[in-house]
Amino acid sequence: MVHDRSPRTDDEVLAATDIEALLRHGLSRDTFRTALFGDGAIAAAVTLDRLGVLPRSVAYVAKIVRAGGLLYAAGLPEPLPSTAASAHLRDWLETAAQVAGAPDDEARAARWLDTVAELIGLRRGSRAAGAPQAPLPASPGHAGQHPQLRALRP
């Protein structure tokens, strides 16, 4: 057995997930739905987040799917602000449109897109929360007198 000295990160493993296969099986079959809304949504969020897509862009496409359907959304010239992200999303929308046989499937696809948007937001929020914060400036004449005020920092 060969040991890989540089193991793949969780993000790399998820980014390699076959999202189209999960959409193909998860929209219409209950047994695959957990995988679609779990691994599939996380993989899509990782992929789009790496491309700099904002959560609101994906949420907007979910609204378009609800209003016009999967085929309409897939036919948009650029459903997301970047070409690479649009190509990924268009592939996913086209795959979903091919298997969506009922209005419930289209609604489920829109909910999946909302889930992807929420996950992108969570990823961005956790990165922002991990960023170092600047120290509080000391007031002249009050340096160190009220250390409990540091806990009130936003």
Instruction: State CA 23 to chain mean position distance.
Output: 15
Mean pLDDT computed over 108-129:
94
Using only C-alpha atoms, the chain has a radius of gyration, in whole angstroms, of 21
Q: Using a cut of 0.85, tell me whether the model's pTM lies above it.
A: no
Between the alpha carbon of residue 54 and those of residues 10, 85, 121, the distances in Å are 21, 11, 8
Ranges of each domain in the chain = 10-130
What does the pLDDT read at residue 127?
A: 84
CA proximity to 29, closest of 88, 119, 118, 101: 101
Q: What is the pLDDT of residues 3-45, one digit of tens each?
A: 556 566 677 777 788 999 999 999 988 999 999 999 999 999 9
